[in-house]
Structure 1
């Protein structure tokens, strides 16, 4: 795969806590979150009329996020009605899926300029608010291997030998690094009626200590869906951790956010008079037996192979903290230096807004690579039902 989808911009909103935690963005509908980023591109001089398509990843396309929220966002931003827009849904991988789809359009010559990203208002459209059949129907649950995502995380941690203290230590690191993160250039403050609601990621708690996290109860030890997980892996070394492993502190925090990446050809950049910051090099999807949460390694290795590079060529890794176990596991499997993985924190401390997370990982990786003078980055998100998506990007420095 020799993609030539250049990255001309990467914008995102801050990640806001969900409504029940008093989050600043809880009153803002998804179409307004994403529409605000489209408006910002217009202010930066991008001609909306030149955009061929807008692709938005949404994990829960229900309620306010249903019915092609991408098209609604265009109207909210005042973009021309001649611009096409649609959504894709691959659960937590939705944002990376949108970026890969947009890159494929550009690389194939089918489009010249694409906006791809994602949005999720978990305050207004809760996870599984769409009541998917596999989560409600026991026969479909057995068929697909659906379990509570926390059960999948504990199963994964136990399978690969991670301890409760290792998970807690990772959460401490995430909070410390998020609290010390730079002022992200990609962040567009969310405004309503001229008032700034939020301009930085919410959630980081500096001073978090492992000793205090050790006192928290685990969340998934008594989940009845452990029985399903045991049946799924009865012939494959099933291990159920005694007492559970993940807590509220080592789970990804729920969040509201949007992200929008501007992808285009060389010709599109010349038409707009802007220079590319980098490119999307390759992408890959992978899966393992559900409910395993370890498909990230296969997705990452496929994407790196398609990019024609190895792990040693990667300078930055943004691995979604789908629980504390996921970055720990992938860093071990790929033999990544801890300092290059989520260097400024992640979802355990500042939230995982599902469909928006892919674009956020790309924006963060691009800035980090630019700080280092350019190079390759790998973005990975594992998801429920054994899925994972990985994208390789290159920053030009």
Structure 2
């Protein structure tokens, strides 16, 4: 198992004119070139906000893969790529496939405005899908994070250290090159986007600069965080500092039956109350540990997608002894959260973390809108 991701772009930043299928195809082509594969048995592609249609198939068709490769789009919102990896793993375990590409691609910048049908009681247009029968609206995820903070009586001073830690660790990971093997070089990314666009007559996206991880803030400070207003009004905690920003990016992994440096040892999916969706990473983790009979003490590296800092607080409260093993390269509060790709991004960061600590077992978990989550146990095959 191995993979690559694009540099991650902020909303209406470096990829503001790059369609998600072009971004995904560029990453797939780079991964195929790196691994020496020319085809696979199936593609599973996570996506949350492209607006419908089988964007996984469109991505595969734009890539160098043969048109005979079937492709499926998986929509579990934030957990979409996690779901794609689960499906790929299950298909290989069942003997249906030998090689599968799984991951996701996302463009928040090009998220379309959609309109309900004429006879639908939910009148008007929307950008954010309905995640729960009890609630709908643009602020549903922010309200879910706020409810979760209230449920666990989280304080503002608990959130701040996690936010600063995320940015500091991301800056250090960039400086020390921990993600170099798992992230496309910016100039190569730029070239591959151009090649995909040219091959199919797509208007050439206008890149504002050579792609980089665009959101990391080396100068993030406690003072700056304290100045950020609440996004939900008086007496609430949710701000632009403790809630990740919406982003653009793509990431894919190649899974197969051939021996490799990494293998997926176990996967699980969880579902619970859709009004408290940030709980998904914690609950999926607990489910996976129970399923495998392991404890957190046996896990050398942990990646939870920190869509909100409350997710970090939940980790710290439950597994405080192991915080040094958690999100070693920083998390989504620093890098951003390209929804449909994030589940694959955190697996790539997990592999980098295992290399850094010379560890064996890693756990990646992600919560998704609608009260879902996925978790995956990765084993690094250590040779003595």
Report the TM-score, using the length of structure 2 for normalisation. 0.85
Match of 2:170 among 166, 171, 178: 178
Matched, 1:320 2:305: yes
- Pairwise CA distance, 1:171: 1.4
Match of 2:44 in 1: 55
Count the aligned residue pairs.
Answer: 352
Conserved 8 A contact 1:283-1:306: no
1:167 match: 159
CA distance, structure 1, for counterparts of residue 211 and residue 161 of structure 2: 28
Q: Secondary structure at the match of 1:143?
A: coil
C-alpha root-mean-square deviation of aligned residues, in Å? Answer: 2.5
Distance 1:286 1:352 in 2: 20
Distance change (3 Å), C-alpha of 1:136 and 1:296: farther
Unaligned runs of 5+ in 2: 125-129, 196-205
> Kindly tell me: are residues 392 and 110 of structure 1, through their superposed partners in 2, closer, same or farther at Cα, counting changes over 3 Å?
same
Number of the residue aligned with 1:276: 260
Describe how 1:155-234 pairs up with structure 2 within 5 A: 155-182=147-174, 183=177, 184=179, 185-188=181-184, 189=186, 190-191=189-190, 192-193=193-194, 197-221=209-233
Q: Which residue of 2 aligns with 1:236?
A: none
Gaps of 5+ in 1: 1-6, 222-241, 270-274
CA contact (8 A) 1:378 1:391 kept: yes
CA contact (8 A) 1:70 1:86 kept: yes
Tell me what 1:89 maps to.
75
Q: CA deviation at 1:137?
A: 7.2
1:237-257 CA deviation, whole Å, 9 max, x = no partner? xxxxx6100211111111100
Cα distance in 1, alignment partners of residues 210 and 85 from structure 2: 25
Deviations 1:337-376 (A, max 9, x none): 2221111211112200001001100000011102222311
For the residues of structure 2 that align with 1:352 and 1:365, how far apart are their CA atoms? 16
SS at match of 1:381: strand
User: Residue 145 of structure 1: CA displacement?
Assistant: 4.4
Distance in 1 between residues matched to 2:89 and 2:75, nearest whole Å: 16
Can you list the C-alpha shifts for 1:201-223, whole angstroms capped at 9, x where unaligned? 111111221122112111113xx
Q: CA deviation at 1:141?
A: 8.0
Change over 3 Å in CA distance of 1:45–1:170 after alignment to 2: closer
Q: 1:145 to 1:282 in 2, by over 3 A?
A: farther
Q: How far did residue 309 of structure 1 move? A: 1.8
* CA spacing shift, 1:70–1:336, aligned 2, 3 Å: farther
Deviates more, 1:363-372 or 1:92-101: 363-372
The TM-score with structure 1 as length reference comes to: 0.82
How far does the alpha carbon of each residue in 1:95-114 deviate from its partner, in whole angstroms, 9 at most, with x for none?
A: 10000100011111111100
